[in-house]
Amino acid sequence: MKVVLPALARALLEPKLPAGLDIAWVTTREEATAAIADADIGWVDLLPHGLTPEAVAAGVSLKWLFTAIAGLDSLDLPELARRGTIVTNGAGINAIAVAEYTVLGMLAAAKRFDRVVRIADAHEWPDAAPGRIELFESRALIVGYGAIGTLVGERLKAFGVDVTGVTRSGRDGTLTPDAWKARLGDFDWVILAAPSTDTTKAMIGAAELAAMKPSAWLLNIARGEMVDQDALIAALTAKTIAGAYLDTVTPEPLPADHPLWSAPNTIHSMHLSGRSQTKMFQRAAALFLRNLDAFLAGRAMENVVDLDAGY
């Protein structure tokens, strides 16, 4: 059985791999694309950009594709389904880091710590705090209450935030996808943490922004394409919402002259949330090894993606 694996995880994987596997350790996109053509198992997350779609496309014989990345919008999922490839993703691997960054963003927005840093850079000593909002007793809507959204919710509840999640099933008192937009005006924080699918593109547009409280903040920790950025810039400029904390935008990297950089009351974190930790590859390697053991034994695997739903 041939397995293609990233060389950067070799030290974590090699001592624990079972005997009898034909392993190809790859470093570049070209190596991965060449090696995967006749492979049974592939893990082709390579630096600096992560998952390698062209290598996945070349893996016509793949029985199982593993990735440490949660979002699979770069892949041709219908083609993988047609091939019968099992896909498992990294949902939850970076969830702690992203959840912490989300809370960081909310606190920065509430206290306007972005302004505090700039005031300090100017060597000034203000008489008043630039931000005086408390998280306590505020209300947050988390659109996408999965691995990341749940961790965000747990942390916000410790601050006394009233949290409402959105799930596909409406489980445990969460709102369903057809119900949350009518409730947008109830919340002080609207947090996007949903997986990227055809149904989530531009899910926040002019109508949704108009429905939000003028004092509310939008936080996007999911994908930039979920927000109509022209509509967001217009809302921020007109001050019909209080501000936006954006870990993700489109395109990435955001061009230096893009108007979103200078939109009023906007805090950017340049998609650094998932990178703000040191344990990603340790967790990914442990997940891969557990799933490899299950795959070889014919047992159920973790994080199997519903290729029709996209997550």
Give me the CATH number covering residue 87.
3.40.50.720
pLDDT digits (tens, 9 = 90+) for 260-274: 999 999 999 999 999
Both 213 and 144 in a single domain? yes
> Helices 95-111 and 147-158, interaxial angle, to 10°?
40
Quick check: is 307 in a domain? Answer: no
Q: Length of the chain, please?
A: 311
Single-letter residue type at 142: I
Both 78 and 128 in a single domain? no
Both 222 and 205 in a single domain? yes
Both 168 and 244 in a single domain? yes
Quick check: is 308 in a domain? Answer: no
> Helices 113-121 and 95-111, interaxial angle, to 10°?
70
Both 56 and 158 in a single domain? no
Both 7 and 122 in a single domain? no
Structural domain boundaries enclosing 62: 2-91+278-297
Both 177 and 286 in a single domain? no
Assess whether pLDDT exceeds 90 at residue 49: no
* CB 104, CB 114: distance < 8 Å: no
pLDDT score, position 66: 98
Both 257 and 141 in a single domain? yes
Both 286 and 194 in a single domain? no
Least confident window among 72-76, 162-166, 190-194, 292-296? 72-76
pLDDT score, position 310: 85
pLDDT score, position 125: 98
pLDDT digits (tens, 9 = 90+) for 134-185: 999 999 999 999 999 999 999 999 999 999 999 999 999 999 999 999 999 9
Assess whether pLDDT exceeds 90 at residue 35: yes
Quick check: is 21 in a domain? Answer: yes
Res. 50 pLDDT band, cuts 50 70 90: confident
How many domains are there within the chain?
A: 2
Give the CA distances from residue 119 to residues 111, 129, 132, 263, 265, in Å, rounded to whole numbers and listed in that order.
13, 11, 16, 19, 15
Q: Determine the Cα–Cα distance for residues 230 and 225; give it in Å rounded to an integer.
A: 11
Single-letter residue type at 39: A
Quick check: is 306 in a domain? Answer: no
285: left (phi over 0), alpha (psi -120 to 50) or beta: alpha
Quick check: is 302 in a domain? Answer: no
Both 99 and 178 in a single domain? yes
Q: Give every CB contact of residue 173 below 8 A, 6+ residues apart in sequence.
A: none
pLDDT score, position 51: 82
Quick check: is 309 in a domain? Answer: no
Give the CA distances from residue 22 to residues 17, 18, 25, 91, in Å, rounded to whole numbers and listed in that order.
11, 10, 10, 27
Both 101 and 243 in a single domain? yes
- Tokens 């014919």 identify what position? 298
Quick check: is 135 in a domain? Answer: yes
Residue 38's CB is within 10 A of a number of other CB atoms, namely: 14
Both 87 and 165 in a single domain? no
Res. 239 pLDDT band, cuts 50 70 90: very high
Quick check: is 261 in a domain? Answer: yes
